[in-house]
Amino acid sequence: MNDLSSKHALVTGGGSGIGATIARMLAEAGARVTICGRRAEPLEALAATHTNIHSRIADVTDEVAMQRLYDDAERDHGPVDIIVANAGLAHSAPFGRTSLESWTQTLDVNLTGAFLTVKPALSGMSERGWGRVIFVASTAGLKGYAYVAPYVAAKHGVIGLCRALAIETAKTGVTVNAICPGFTETEMLDASLETIVDKTGKSAEQARAALVSTNPMGRFVQPEEVAQAVLWLCGTNSGAVTGQALSVSGGETC
């Protein structure tokens, strides 16, 4: 495992799912980890499990709140060296029944939230000559899915943002990459399965089978597999990797 004991990492959406697993594994690698989200309870519960994890409330769609988050976190734990922009939101509906409110909220959290997460720290990383920016996107940033058009559009935008920033920072020692998980065993997957059951009348087992069938390996991705990819991108031997969208999907996007 990489030794990240000299690093300070920020993980948005860090209280549950993929974000919580990434935060835990970064902390186990020695990093000081600041996790943020909108709900205090899961953040505080995770922070209680490891002395390297520190929780703060912040909404990634609020520019003032994100700047305050950086000010407070860097005051207490030093400059942020690693950013994992993980906060996400998805709604499901046919395009014709997708409201402007749903469209705007989805882009605000997934795309604008990624922008506001990275903006306060990128110049400081470049000045110090080292940094890792990792967007947790989705296979929805690499292909299309029916009934989640706003989410697909937002995640494609995240991949574009990743590639643009990678070019801007290529000579600074900062790398910018995206991780694109397929369907992963998280609370978000559970919610998707419940939606399928409610809207199609399928059983829970049938709904799981329908989603699993999209993965050539015939299984869901595990959060630890996504977190291991993040750890590798934070390591000393990944410095030449930037501007990439790494699919962790069991071959779904081959």
Given the residues 70, 145, 147, 151, the one annotated as active site: 151
Cβ-count burial 69-89 (b if 16+ within 10 Å, e if not): bbeebbeebeebbbbbbbbbb
**Enclosing H/E stretch for 46:** helix 40-47
151 is catalytic: yes
Residue 220, phi-psi category: left (phi > 0), alpha (psi -120 to 50), beta (remainder) = beta
Q: What 3-state DSSP class applies to 245? A: strand
Cβ(121)–Cβ(176) under 8 Å? no
In whole angstroms, give the CA distance from residue 113 to residue 37.
Answer: 11
Judge contact between 174 and 132, C-beta under 8 A.
Answer: yes
Taking the CA atoms of 158, 125, 82 and 46 in sequence, report the sign of the dihedral they define. Answer: negative
Beta-carbon count within 10 A of 167 CB: 11
Distance (Å) of CA 112 to CA 109, 154, 157, 201: 6, 9, 9, 35
Residues designated as active site: 151
